[in-house]
Amino acid sequence: MCDEPARRFARALPLLFALALSVVPGEGRAHFGPKPISLRGAPVPQVPGLVDGPDPIVVDQGAAIALGKALFWDMNLGSDGVACATCHFHAGADSRVMNQLAPGGKSPAVATTAFDLSPSGGVRGPNYRLARSDFPFYRTSDPLNPIAALVYASDDVVGSAGSFGGVFRSVSPSSGTDDCARQPDPIFHVGSVGVRRVEARNAPSVINSVFSFRQFWDGAASNRFNGSSQWGERDPDAGVWVRTGPTSVMKQRLALESASLASQALAPPLNSVEMSCESRKHPDLGRKLADRAPLADQNVHWSDSVLGPLAQSTPGNLRPGLATTYRALVQAAFASKYWSYAGTGPFGQPAGTDPQPYTQFEANFGMFFALAIQLYEATLISDQSPFDLSAVDPNGVPIDLSPSAQLGFDTFRTAHCNLCHTGPVFTSSALVTNATLVQQDPTVFGNETFAVSTSSNVVTRQSVTGGTAVIDTGFASNGVTPDGADLGLGGSDPFGNPLSYADQYLQFLAGNPSGVVDPHVDEVRACDLDVSIARNQPDAHPIFFTQVEGVLPQPQSTTGCFSALGAFVPTPAAARAELQSPSNTKMRSAARNSFKIPSLRNVELTGPYMHNGSMATLQEVIEFYTRGGNYDTPGKQFGTVFPQVDLRFSPQLRQALLDFLLSLTDERVRWERAPFDHPELRIADGHAGNNLAVTGTSPIGPQLGLDQTRLVPAVGAEGRTTTPLGSFDAALEEPPAAAPVPAIGAGKVLLVLLLLVITIASLRVRERRS
């Protein structure tokens, strides 16, 4: 009896040693959640009917890509010299630092027009040159501490300088500058001199954007392309003109799936902040560009991976333009029924001073432009970063990265970065790709014990600061800005509909089909929500519907459900009652203050960061997430953005996380090698002078400031040869320091004292002598 404990211990010893030896690196990672994986070979969303099928819209994909690349980089597209690439020239993003400030968010609850003082109390405003000391825009006494005292906060936004604006009159077939009535902008002016307006959200990279289900920070560019606007099915007047016979033409609806890049492309060229004078229309662009040489004023490298064969340049002889016209490229790329109707009549006419009616070619130019851009941007896939190229161990962990980056891979998961930046694109907004991968292999993310739903649902349901709420897949509120500073996904379209799928899904559940304006919302499978909205159980629950309120089986199959117990929806009556209840806890939306989760690929090169560009470096981003964000907005996903104590106390872990993020840079992007090569571009990089005075007058208008122009040289397929692209903060400078006060050194002090002593002594000698 007395040796029983010893016997029990002795029996356990072999087990103990076996356990001690069985700790295999990687085995314990199961609870880390989804693991990042390579983008190589990942499925790219395709656009059914665009280049395939019995009646494809595009009949020559190569010509369409060439058209798209030329249009993307052509400065003649904008009303006053702005190209798409003007805001996406640097790793697909914008690294300019002058005249890039906007005074507040894009869709704030309360509009703001006042610029903030800098952290040091300096005056900012239009045409201000950002300095390193301006960042970050939110500061506390300890950037790593979640409860440190607030020191400084600004609601200014680092966006992109765009157009002078003005009211559109007409285009010129020869000039790049449109005829517009231009005045200094009431906000963007220095003294009486107008400067270029600045978009109030930071320009995201276009690289890998083909994977995003929707575009723009607020998702306002529909996944389904309608041919003439960004709004997809929401736009009742959308459509394209189709020639139906030798003398007949008809406007038809278009609905191209997975074509959000095309939807997105249609917005900036008409936006009076970004590229255009007000009231310009896509047919006006067609009229302006149709018969001119693409990139007529910009050099195109002879070895450009797409445009080289069309370039006027020859080896060693760089020349502007392509040896063709936009009309010829359109006619080569697109089916003739979209451009071959010779007459006019049903297509309308310009709103400005040009009386000439539009042609079919012009009327459909928006579609040509948008689909060409879609196809070009779909080629911009960066899947050759060190992370992508690394071999992986049996657990899927990369093994060729530096030890620090390897540690950062784990840290990326333990810090829950992976719960939003999910999958090979490092964003859950890559909805189709992530869902397809999981359908092909449910263990692809290795997340069986710490799973996030990666279904094809366009919404999910999450626990957020304000309760449990429905949110669009791939969108999140991370607490960068306070509630209402920018509504983001919580905004509305021009037709009065909510931008979010989440709000539509709530209407759908409540039996209000008229509240659903987007496809796929009514296809949401309840059992694939991260948090169930209804369960078939007798007891009430505070965050989901039960038999108490009334539930119904989901109409879809339950095969492969994320949560089999959640395969129920509330009865419409129950949903309606909850939606109208002042104590609603089950029918909430987290759209307000939420934004699209960006990819992290090439993030080293795509600063400044966040939708408001408020952070200049990845270190500042890591500090932000280490302290758990800036604000606890109601929709904040506190389960993913919360104080990271391990990061806070470990510079090694923070460095590791940074090193892992740096491993996501594709060297082809850094060196602008194909497919990331490009034509020459001249961009407005602020105006001559500064934020206090603008010197020089723009040739565009007598009251407008003279642009400072930066030349981005043409690069061929082999890329840059000397200087690679750098990070955003490398372009920031400190303001010139005040003139130094001459210092008096110790030697000078001694010399003065010595002279003083000598003087006094000599005076005394004189006194004695006298």
Partner 1 sequence: MLVAAVAANEARAAGAVGFSTWDGGVAAPALLPGESASVSGVGGLAASMAGNPALNGSAWAHTGNWWNVYLPGTSLATITIQARDDGFAPGVSVWASGATVFDGGTTGWGGEVSTAGFGTPHSFNALGVLGASGTLWMQYGQGGNMQALLGYAISGPSYTGTPTGWGETVAHGVFDMTLTDAFVSAVGGSVGAGFAQLELSNVSAGWYTFYVGGTNPALAGGLYDIQVSTVPEPSALLLCALALTGLNAARRRS
Q: Within 13 A of 372's CA, how many CA atoms are on the CB side?
A: 30
Q: Pick the closer one to partner 1 by CB: 645 or 760.
A: 645
Tell me 630's DSSP state: S
Q: Which stretch binds partner 1 (CB under 8 A): 86-94, 144-152, 336-344, 518-526?
A: 144-152
Q: Pick the closer one to partner 1 by CB: 460 or 665.
A: 460
Check binding of 23 to partner 1 (CB under 8 A).
yes
Pick one of 213, 216, 638, 660: the residue that binds partner 1 (CB under 8 A).
Answer: 638
Pick one of 8, 766, 768, 769: the residue that binds partner 1 (CB under 8 A).
Answer: 8
Check binding of 556 to partner 1 (CB under 8 A).
no
Check binding of 645 to partner 1 (CB under 8 A).
yes
Q: Pick the closer one to partner 1 by CB: 26 or 482.
A: 26
Q: Which stretch binds partner 1 (CB under 8 A): 102-110, 260-268, 542-550, 667-675?
A: 542-550
CB of 473 to partner 1, least distance (A): 17
Q: Within 13 A of 471's CA, how many CA atoms are on the CB side?
A: 36
Pick one of 26, 30, 349, 351: the residue that binds partner 1 (CB under 8 A).
Answer: 30
Check binding of 463 to partner 1 (CB under 8 A).
yes
CB of 448 to partner 1, least distance (A): 6
Q: Which stretch binds partner 1 (CB under 8 A): 116-124, 261-269, 495-503, 637-645?
A: 637-645
Distance CA 197, CA 200 (A): 9
Q: Which stretch binds partner 1 (CB under 8 A): 109-117, 645-653, 680-688, 705-713?
A: 645-653
Q: Pick the closer one to partner 1 by CB: 556 or 650.
A: 650
Pick one of 4, 55, 441, 734: the residue that binds partner 1 (CB under 8 A).
Answer: 4
76, 275, 296, 611 from 263: Cα distances, Å: 21, 16, 26, 20
Q: Which stretch binds partner 1 (CB under 8 A): 106-114, 536-544, 691-699, 759-767?
A: 536-544
If DSSP codes are grouped into helix, strand and coil, which group holds residue 290? coil
Check binding of 477 to partner 1 (CB under 8 A).
no
Q: Pick the closer one to partner 1 by CB: 7 or 769.
A: 7
Choose among 387, 527, 391, 367: nearest CA to 460: 527
CB of 146 to partner 1, least distance (A): 5
First to last CA, the chain: 117
20, 36, 612 from 393: Cα distances, Å: 22, 13, 38
CB of 562 to partner 1, least distance (A): 10
Check binding of 495 to partner 1 (CB under 8 A).
no
CB of 334 to partner 1, least distance (A): 49
Q: Which long-range contacts (CB under 8 A, 24 or more apart) does 140-144 make?
A: 140/627, 143/620, 143/623, 143/624, 143/626, 143/627, 144/623, 144/626, 144/627, 144/647, 144/648
Q: Which stretch binds partner 1 (CB under 8 A): 14-22, 67-75, 128-136, 290-298?
A: 14-22
99, 122, 337, 450 from 694: Cα distances, Å: 11, 18, 50, 56
DSSP character string of 399-443: -SS-HHHHHHHHHHHHTTGGGTS-TTTTSTT-HHHHHHHHHH-TT
Q: According to DSSP H, which parts of 274-320 are helical?
A: 282-289
Burial class (CB in 10 A: 0-12, 13-18, 19+), 323: middle
Q: Which stretch binds partner 1 (CB under 8 A): 173-181, 387-395, 540-548, 599-607?
A: 540-548
Tell me 330's DSSP state: H
Q: Pick the closer one to partner 1 by CB: 280 or 588.
A: 588
Check binding of 743 to partner 1 (CB under 8 A).
no
The three-state DSSP-derived secondary structure of 587-618 is CCECCCCEEECCCCCCHHHCCCECCCCCECCH
Distance CA 534, CA 545 (A): 4
Element (H, E) at 369: helix 365-377
Pick one of 31, 40, 253, 764: the residue that binds partner 1 (CB under 8 A).
Answer: 31
If binding means CB under 8 A, how many residues of this protein chain bind partner 1? 52
**How many CB atoms are located within 10 Å of the residue 734 CB?**
9
Pick one of 145, 439, 512, 547: the residue that binds partner 1 (CB under 8 A).
Answer: 145
535 Cα distance to chain centroid: 36
111, 434, 473, 484 from 590: Cα distances, Å: 21, 22, 11, 13
Rg from Cα positions in the chain = 30
Check binding of 335 to partner 1 (CB under 8 A).
no
51 Cα distance to chain centroid: 27
Check binding of 522 to partner 1 (CB under 8 A).
no
**How many CB atoms are located within 10 Å of the residue 125 CB?**
21
Choose among 615, 599, 608: nearest CA to 481: 615
Sign of the CA dihedral with 602 first, then 607, 609, and 615 last: positive
CB of 556 to partner 1, least distance (A): 19
CB of 106 to partner 1, least distance (A): 28
Check binding of 769 to partner 1 (CB under 8 A).
no
Q: Which stretch binds partner 1 (CB under 8 A): 3-11, 228-236, 720-728, 735-743?
A: 3-11
Q: Pick the closer one to partner 1 by CB: 33 or 598.
A: 33
Q: Pick the closer one to partner 1 by CB: 315 or 542.
A: 542
Check binding of 449 to partner 1 (CB under 8 A).
yes
CB of 20 to partner 1, least distance (A): 6
Check binding of 16 to partner 1 (CB under 8 A).
yes
Pick one of 177, 202, 455, 468: the residue that binds partner 1 (CB under 8 A).
Answer: 468
Check binding of 147 to partner 1 (CB under 8 A).
yes
Q: Pick the closer one to partner 1 by CB: 107 or 462.
A: 462
Check binding of 649 to partner 1 (CB under 8 A).
yes
499, 592, 658 from 577: Cα distances, Å: 23, 22, 48
Q: Which stretch binds partner 1 (CB under 8 A): 214-222, 508-516, 529-537, 545-553?
A: 529-537
Check binding of 9 to partner 1 (CB under 8 A).
yes
Angle at 223 between CA 218 and CA 224, to 5 degrees: 135
Pick one of 639, 651, 702, 713: the residue that binds partner 1 (CB under 8 A).
Answer: 639
CB of 524 to partner 1, least distance (A): 18
Pick one of 168, 642, 660, 676: the residue that binds partner 1 (CB under 8 A).
Answer: 642
Distance CA 113, CA 186 (A): 9
Q: Say which amino acid occupies 365.
A: F
Check binding of 271 to partner 1 (CB under 8 A).
no
Are 478 and 621 spatial neighbours (Cβ–Cβ below 8 Å)?
Answer: no
Determine how β-strand 248-252 pairs with β-strand 240-245.
Answer: antiparallel
Pick one of 384, 558, 563, 708: the residue that binds partner 1 (CB under 8 A).
Answer: 563
Distance CA 735, CA 610 (A): 24
CB of 419 to partner 1, least distance (A): 10
Pick one of 26, 119, 146, 724: the residue that binds partner 1 (CB under 8 A).
Answer: 146
Q: Pick the closer one to partner 1 by CB: 2 or 738.
A: 2
Element (H, E) at 703: none
Q: Which stretch binds partner 1 (CB under 8 A): 20-28, 198-206, 257-265, 314-322?
A: 20-28
CB of 284 to partner 1, least distance (A): 50
Sites of contact with partner 1 (CB under 8 A): 2-6, 8-9, 12-13, 15-16, 19-20, 23, 28-32, 145-148, 416, 448-451, 461-463, 465, 467-468, 531-532, 535, 541-544, 563, 565, 638-639, 642-643, 645-646, 648-650
